[in-house]
Amino acid sequence: MDALIDEVEHELISARPDREATFADAVVSWRSWAEHSKRLKPATLRNYDALLSEPGQRKRGPGENLARIMRSFGDRKIAEITAVDIERFLQRLDRDGLPGRSVNAHRQALANVFEHATRADVFSLPNNPVRGAEKRREDYTKPPETFSIEQVHAVARAARAGAHVNGGRRWASADEDLQQQQANVQDAVIYTVAGFTGLRQGELLALRWKHVRFADRTLVVVAAMSAGVESSTKSGKWRAVPLVSDAFVALDELSRREWFVSPDDYVFCGPAGEPLNESALRRRFKAARDAAGLPPLPFHHLRHTFATLAIRGLDPATVQALLGHSKITTTERYLHARPLTELAERMDSIFGMRVEPLADRDRASAMI
């Protein structure tokens, strides 16, 4: 009985929340757990680091961190922060004009930290106060803008011609000029493959030649680059994507280069065979896009282009598998591009209607 009483008293004591720990202490604890135990992707951690940054000079670029969360909660005792405090903070973000998606991102960062703090081995908070604060409505009604097939070809042509680098002029030395020509061809290929396979930018950067199965006209997507670190795909699962002719021919051309075509080499790489820099890739694409006179859409919209083209002839479940979406609802945002001609004809048969061919209607109009 004495042992049982001691055990119960120990559990009661250990379950008491830490009244001295601050929100900043909780952030430090969560950040370590998220990196080493939860093993969030580097890019995901980078996004949370930005939301949970301390006030002060930015590590990248001029100016100071906005640090909205830490300015509001950093020094406060975590056990004293309530759902009302969280809701008032989110309302301030609303008044500052932040879109719903951004407000929800701040809310999610807070929720992660408080949920971690409820653990008995951390701060033993009795509950997560963020659950009492409402999520904001996000506007997903606008379909994503895309390029046309010809525009994908146009940006690839601009890159191949070097219009996005050095104004299209030749370089001073022959070696520099040859190296730049090879980089231009690679740029053209990666834009083509992105537009006609729908791979994410990180998946393209992690693609190795052993993942390109020319005999089967298939790409096997098994990894992705996240903040310069090779990691798993976003869904955590591998998938196979068929190679349409344009992407197949482009990759076949690139596979004939002189270096870095061994099975373990990256398909898209730098001069020393290293993975391409994400920022440099986006910057070069923007320059090629502008040189081709295309709409100011970012690199990721090449993926949207593939999705809207694929949904026109394939069922949503197949498109979901090709894109690597974990939820069908994500794929459904492209259904606006699905032609309804066949459905309209089926409904005509249901309602017993008959639509005259256009030629007959034109002939009848002429007689009138």
DSSP letters spanning 49-76: HHHTPPSSB-SSSSSB---HHHHHHTTS
Beta pairing partners, 169: none
- Residues 77, 40 share a domain: yes
- Residues 163, 127 share a domain: no
How high is the pLDDT of residue 357? 59
Structure tokens at 242: 């068929």
How high is the pLDDT of residue 368? 46
In a domain, 141, yes or no: no
- Residues 170, 115 share a domain: no
Residue 137 is given by DSSP the state P
Taking the C-alpha atoms of residue 83 and residue 90, their distance in angstroms, rounded to an integer, is 11
Sign of the CA dihedral with 73 first, then 78, 80, and 85 last: positive
Q: Are 258 and 266 in contact (CB under 8 A)?
A: no
For 28, residues 6+ apart whose C-beta sits below 8 A from its C-beta are none
Q: Are 241 and 230 in contact (CB under 8 A)?
A: no
Instruction: Provide DSSP, 222-253.
Output: --EEETTEEE--TTS--EEEE--HHHHHHHHH
- Residues 111, 64 share a domain: yes
In a domain, 29, yes or no: yes
- Residues 31, 128 share a domain: yes
- Residues 307, 167 share a domain: yes
- Residues 123, 24 share a domain: yes
How high is the pLDDT of residue 14? 52
In a domain, 71, yes or no: yes
In a domain, 33, yes or no: yes
Taking the C-alpha atoms of residue 101 and residue 81, their distance in angstroms, rounded to an integer, is 23
In a domain, 140, yes or no: no
Sheet with 218-221, side-by-side order of all strands: 212-213, 218-221, 239-242
Structure tokens at 244: 């349409």
Taking the C-alpha atoms of residue 208 and residue 220, their distance in angstroms, rounded to an integer, is 9
- Residues 168, 97 share a domain: no
In a domain, 316, yes or no: yes
Which domain CATH number covers 217?
Answer: 1.10.443.10
pTM of the model as a whole: 0.79
Q: Are 127 and 114 in contact (CB under 8 A)?
A: no
Taking the C-alpha atoms of residue 365 and residue 58, their distance in angstroms, rounded to an integer, is 69
- Residues 299, 221 share a domain: yes
Nearest to 88 by CA among 65, 61, 106: 106
- Residues 48, 105 share a domain: yes
What's the mean per-residue pLDDT of the chain?
90
Three-state DSSP at 5 gives helix
Taking the C-alpha atoms of residue 270 and residue 273, their distance in angstroms, rounded to an integer, is 5
- Residues 301, 153 share a domain: yes
In a domain, 352, yes or no: no
Nearest to 300 by CA among 195, 206, 196: 195
How high is the pLDDT of residue 78? 96
- Residues 153, 121 share a domain: no
Domain coverage including residue 53: 2-132
Domain count along the chain: 2
Which domain CATH number covers 43?
Answer: 1.10.150.130
In a domain, 355, yes or no: no
Ranges under pLDDT 50 in the chain: 12-13, 364, 366-368
